Amino acid sequence: MGARKMAKKEIVVREEILGSNKKIAADIRARLEAAGVLVVNLLSSPGSGKTTLLERLVETLKPTHPLAVIEGDIETERDAERIRRKGVPAWQITTGGACHLEAKMVARIIPEIPAETQFLFIENVGNLVCPASYDLGENLRCVLLSAPEGDDKPKKYPAAFATADCLILTKSDLVPVLPFDPERAAQEALEINPRLRVFVTSALNGKGIAELVRYFIESRANLIQRQRHA
Amino acid sequence: MGARKMAKKEIVVREEILGSNKKIAADIRARLEAAGVLVVNLLSSPGSGKTTLLERLVETLKPTHPLAVIEGDIETERDAERIRRKGVPAWQITTGGACHLEAKMVARIIPEIPAETQFLFIENVGNLVCPASYDLGENLRCVLLSAPEGDDKPKKYPAAFATADCLILTKSDLVPVLPFDPERAAQEALEINPRLRVFVTSALNGKGIAELVRYFIESRANLIQRQRHA
């Protein structure tokens, strides 16, 4: 929450919530790492294309890699239904007003995830601000930025980009008809966070999906390697 | 925050903040109504086109109606600079992390607004969730939804639509190349809030801008009428 002047009581309560969230997230991460599951937390504004990207990832991964999806929204089961239609287990968390997922909401679902699962994708509530403060036990945090949103967004909403491992530029098929420069967007994000892996994608024409899937598969292989040597 | 389970302490602190915000907002509204200023609060996701729409509104209104703009962002002065380039007074509030504007941030700027001002537009932080809970002293709350975000968003993010007076569908020039049905988007929003006034706009080709400006001018005339009879 940075420089906003908050009441002292508000700060204390907020720190308690984040502290408790961090503990639950660490526990989720430990349990799923031990089970060989790579957890990916997808963050973005509403309408950046998280669910459509997930549909493409599911189609590409499903034949060879068992996966599961948790969908976060304020209301409606719509997104989980879209994923289930692809034949993949999906759980919908509706926050009933809250602007982000918290680790405790995810923790309740963990016991239901099938034993063979290799990847768990968590689609956060559409919000480029608040979800950045909440660790959900993920191994990779990916922030999406769609071409129609504009290439000036990273510096205006820096926390999501600062805390992410990868930046997925989506809807790149629209670049020809929009004043959006993927280079500029990537450059701004890299100035905030130089270790970001950047992917330019289009769920419509498939651009960048194979590279992204490869990145997730490699990240899981590294995770399992680390587990073996731990 | 609806059905999310919050700690009792969190609820108390939140109610205190919202209660104090409501009082400051009521004071802003009373002062600006007495001065004949119509205040419009613009809410949407990041990248829905709030600043670009404001640039068009400024160009249309400025020759005949003095106006002023307050820009809300987490970081950067970019948006206020864009408005100032149009020759209109603009103030940038950077929240330094907070995901919404609060009335107290706006209150600090009120004394600086020129006496002749007829319209004050406040562009909120790009976030379709949290700003809906904070009255800024506005007379009209307008929620923007851009064609690329998808026509399924009202029911997924209902609070912004439930508390708004008007819905501005933006980037309508992109409708031909996108799976977006303005009718469906409007219908979903109207099911949540039947009193919404709906405008279909494009800042690029000017569609709907004149109608929107007329709505603001009429709303101000009604406000002044009410003031006279009060």
Q: Are A165 and A50 in contact (CB under 8 A)?
A: no
Residue among B133, B180, B148, B55 at smallest CA distance from A74:
B133
User: What is the SS3 assignment for B153?
Assistant: helix
Q: Output the DSSP codes for chain A.
A: -TTS---HHHHHHHHHHHHHHHHHHHHHHHHHHHTT-EEEEEE--TTSSHHHHHHHHHHHHTTTS-EEEEEEESS-SHHHHHHHTTT--EEEEE-TB-SS--HHHHHTTGGGS-TT--EEEEE--S-SSGGGG---S-SEEEEEEEGGG-TTHHHHSHHHHHT-SEEEEE-GGGGGGSS--HHHHHHHHHHH-TT-EEEE--TTT-TTHHHHHHHHHHHHHHHHHHHHH-
B170 in Cβ contact with B203 (< 8 Å): yes
User: Does B148 touch chain A if contact means CB atoms closer than 8 Å?
Assistant: yes
How far apart (Å, rounded) are the C-alpha atoms in residues B10 and A217?
A: 40
Judged by CB atoms closer than 8 Å, whether chains meet at A174 and B148 is answered as yes
Residues 6+ apart with CB under 8 A from A167: A142, A143, A144, A145, A161, A186, A189, A196, A197, A198, A199
Q: What pLDDT digit, counting tens, does each position of A110-162 carry?
A: 999 999 999 999 999 999 999 999 999 999 999 999 999 999 999 999 999 99
C-alpha A137: how far from its chain's center?
11
- CA gap A49, A150 in Å, rounded: 14
In a domain, B75, yes or no: yes
Number of domains into which chain A is organized: 1
Q: How confident is the model at residue B15 (pLDDT cuts 50, 70, 90)?
A: confident
Judged against a pLDDT cut of 90, whether residue B229 lies above it is answered with no
Chain B partners of A7 at a C-beta cutoff of 8 Å?
A: 13, 16-17
Question: Distance (Å) from the C-alpha of residue B195 to the closest C-alpha of chain A?
Answer: 21
- Residue B3 forms part of a structural domain: no
Task: Tell me if B198 sits within 8 A of B46, measured CB to CB.
Answer: no
Residue in A18, A51, A75, A108 to test binding to B, most B beta-carbons within 10 Å: A75
Question: Of B74, B3, B1, B66, which Cα lies nearest the Cα of B36?
Answer: B66
- The whole-angstrom separation of Cα A113 and Cα A68 is 7
Question: Of A73, A154, A141, which is closest to residue B73 (Cα–Cα)?
Answer: A154
Q: Strand B140-146's sheet: what is its strand order?
A: B90-94, B67-73, B119-123, B38-43, B140-146, B166-170, B197-200
Question: Given B45, B96, B97, which is nearest A46 (Cβ)?
Answer: B45
Per-residue three-class SS string for A68-110: EEEEEECCCCHHHHHHHCCCCCEEEEECCECCCCCHHHHHCCH
Confidence of residue B16 (pLDDT cuts 50, 70, 90): confident
Residue B161 lies in a domain: no
**Residue B78 maps to which CATH number?**
3.40.50.300
Per-residue pLDDT reduced to its tens digit, A17-57: 899 999 999 999 999 999 999 999 999 999 999 999 999 99
| Residue A16 belongs to some domain of the structure | no
Q: Which residues pair with A69 in a beta bridge?
A: A90, A121
B4 contacts chain A (CB < 8 A): yes
Give B-chain residues touching A73 at CB under 8 angstroms.
Answer: 156
- A46/B130 touch (CB, cutoff 8 Å), yes or no: no
d(CA A221, nearest CA chain B) in Å: 34
pLDDT (tens digit, 9 = 90+) per residue, A49-85? 999 999 999 999 999 999 999 999 999 999 999 999 9
Identity of the residue numbered B29: R
Identify the pLDDT of residue B160.
97
Position A182 in a domain:
no
User: Would you state the pLDDT for residue B3?
Assistant: 41
Q: Has residue B122 been placed in a domain?
A: yes
Question: Using the beta-carbon criterion (under 8 Å), do A96 and B127 form an inter-chain contact?
Answer: no
φ and ψ of A114, to 5 deg: -55, 145
> B183, exposed or middle or buried, with CB in 10 Å at 0-12, 13-18, 19+?
exposed
For residue A171, the chain B residues in CB contact (below 8 A) are: 148
Instruction: Show the domain range for B115.
Output: 21-143+206-229
Query: At B73, is the secondary structure helix, strand, or coil?
Result: strand
Instruction: Report the alpha-carbon distance of residue B75 to residue A194 in Å, rounded.
Output: 19
Predicted confidence band at B1 (pLDDT cuts at 50, 70, 90)?
Answer: very low
* Residue B6 placed within a domain: no
Q: What is the per-residue pLDDT for B12?
A: 83
B positions 180-219 inside 8 Å of A (CB): none
Query: Is the residue at B150 inside a domain?
Result: no
C-alpha B105/C-alpha A92 separation (Å) is 36
Q: pTM higher than 0.95, yes or no?
A: no
pLDDT tens-digit profile of B130-166? 999 999 999 999 999 999 999 999 999 999 999 999 9
For position B5, what pLDDT does the model report?
A: 58
